Amino acid sequence: MTEVPARPAGLRERKKARTRAAIRQHALRLFSEQGYTATTVEQIAEAAEVSPATFFRYFPTKEDVVLQDDFDLVALAEMEAQPPELSPIAAFRAAAAAARKQLTPEEARIFAETTRLTLSVPEIRARAVDELVRTSDQISAAIARRIGASPDDFEVRNMAGAILGVIMTVAMPWNADQPIDFYAMFDRIDAALAHLEQGLPLPES
């Protein structure tokens, strides 16, 4: 039998990526125009020219349209590429900086908007807890690969939790009346990771 070329599979993956991006783009536009609560999955699907069933194949819930982006995947891929002599925290910090540089101004704007929605909409904030668990698992796996340990080791999961904890500490305090400055937020995240890398020293009295 003639070997099936790999290109069609690549085309399918690109089509899936375009469909996913279109759903998310129209969802965020509708959220901006008419509010998150007033926007239905059916309206998003219609705007993206897909069925509601297709919507749910890409996003399990309406909240996931806001929460699921590719930044975590890019950051974790960058972490894998960091020199092995770097500590896990230093590698994560470098990876976050590298991932940030890859974002276009429009992607940065969208990131800031989805962060605003996450912090201001109770349903999204509640769903974000599930995403935190998934992200913690991913960071634990990345740390474990760097040091040759199990992602279930207590120390590994504790470090993943510490990384997420300092990020949340600087990202969460936010005035709903003020827009989110994406670049300022990432400067705070980098400072928080640097503080963690130093062992979280307290100020001298």
Q: What is the DSSP string of 83-118?
A: -TTS-HHHHHHHHHHHHHHH--HHHHHHHHHHHHHH
- Reported as a single tens digit per residue, the pLDDT across 52-68 is 999 999 999 999 999 98
- Helix, strand, or coil (residue 79): helix
pTM of the model: 0.79
Domains delineated in the chain: 1-59 (1.10.10.60), 61-205 (1.10.357.10)
Q: Is the pLDDT of residue 137 over 70?
A: yes
Per-residue model confidence (pLDDT) at position 119: 85
CB 151 within 8 A of CB 157: yes
- CA 107 centroid distance within chain: 12
Tokens of 160: 């993943």
- How far is 186 from 122, CA to CA, in rounded Å? 23
Backbone angles phi, psi at 180, to 5 degrees: -85, 130
- Reported as a single tens digit per residue, the pLDDT across 168-184 is 888 875 665 677 888 88
Per-residue model confidence (pLDDT) at position 4: 39
Residue 112 or residue 177, greater confidence? 112
